[in-house]
């Protein structure tokens, strides 16, 4: 007969960790989407002028997230900044997401055919009207799948914030494993929670894409 030391309180503790994971994901994607949109437009519309920006973003894409967490958390302590570990996690994940979303936006904007832009200008639209009403709507549809994959990736990457003391889903699971010594059961439950959260995001994204297609 199956028996376990896992209690309802442990499950609630894991769900609390999952809520922290969702909060980290939300704020990181909000910051990353806003920053990535601005940087992506700059990279697409002024590639030469924004070349130094591309080099900086390459650093954040290349350096492992764990190192970025540790470095910013250490800098915070050395500089005496009154920033919570949660804020550090949001900032690092947000900048990391922005670095990737920049390229997603850039590729979306460049996917709009120059002939389409010339046609819109010939109809009397100004440069900014062309960008707002023609380029951005078309680029959004191209970039959306990449953005959705980025959201799912960031949700999993939040597990690394455990190294700076944040109790998210994985850290909560490890705490329970240490106490009851049932890693297989606890980690299977944690994996199921991650799966459910990712499935909800993926389904919402797929529904939005279908609506776009129906409106074409």
Collapsing DSSP to helix, strand or coil, 5 comes out as coil
Question: What is this structure's pTM?
Answer: 0.90
pLDDT of residue 2: 61
Residue 20 is encoded by which pair of tokens?
């922290």
pLDDT of residue 186: 92
- Sequence-distant (6+) residues with CB within 8 A of 181 are none
Cα gap 48→45, rounded to integer Å: 9
Domains in the chain: ranges and CATH: 23-168 (1.10.3720.10)
Write b or e for each residue in 118-146: b if 16 or more Cβ atoms lie within 10 A of its Cβ, otherwise e: eebeeeebeeeebbeebbbebbeebbbee
pLDDT of residue 79: 86
pLDDT tens digits, one per residue of 157-200 = 999 999 888 999 999 999 999 998 888 999 999 999 999 999 99
pLDDT of residue 68: 93
Contact status, residue 42 vs residue 51, Cβ threshold 8 Å = no
Cα gap 172→45, rounded to integer Å: 45
Segments in the chain below pLDDT 70: 1-2, 215-216
């Amino acid at each position: 007969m199956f028996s376990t030391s896992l209690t309802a309180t442990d499950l609630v503790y894991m769900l609390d960790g999952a809520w922290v994971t969702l909060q980290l994901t939300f704020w990181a994607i909000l910051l990353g989407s806003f920053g990535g949109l601005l940087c992506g437009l700059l990279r697409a519309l002024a590639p030469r002028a924004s070349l130094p920006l591309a080099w900086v973003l390459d650093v954040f894409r290349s350096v492992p997230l764990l190192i970025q967490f540790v470095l910013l958390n250490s800098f915070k302590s050395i500089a005496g900044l009154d920033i919570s570990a949660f804020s550090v996690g949001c900032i690092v994940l947000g900048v990391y997401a922005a670095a990737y979303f920049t390229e997603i936006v850039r590729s979306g904007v460049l996917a709009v055919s120059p002939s389409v832009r010339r046609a819109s200008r010939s109809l009397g639209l100004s440069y900014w009207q062309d960008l707002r009403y023609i380029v951005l709507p078309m680029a959004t549809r191209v970039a959306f799948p990449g953005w959705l994959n980025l959201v799912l990736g960031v949700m999993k990457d939040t597990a690394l914030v455990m190294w700076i003391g944040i109790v998210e889903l994985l850290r909560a699971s490890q705490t329970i494993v240490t106490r009851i010594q049932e890693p297989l059961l606890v980690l299977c439950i944690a994996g199921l929670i991650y799966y459910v959260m990712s499935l909800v995001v993926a389904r919402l994204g797929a529904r939005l894409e279908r609506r776009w297609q129906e409106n074409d």
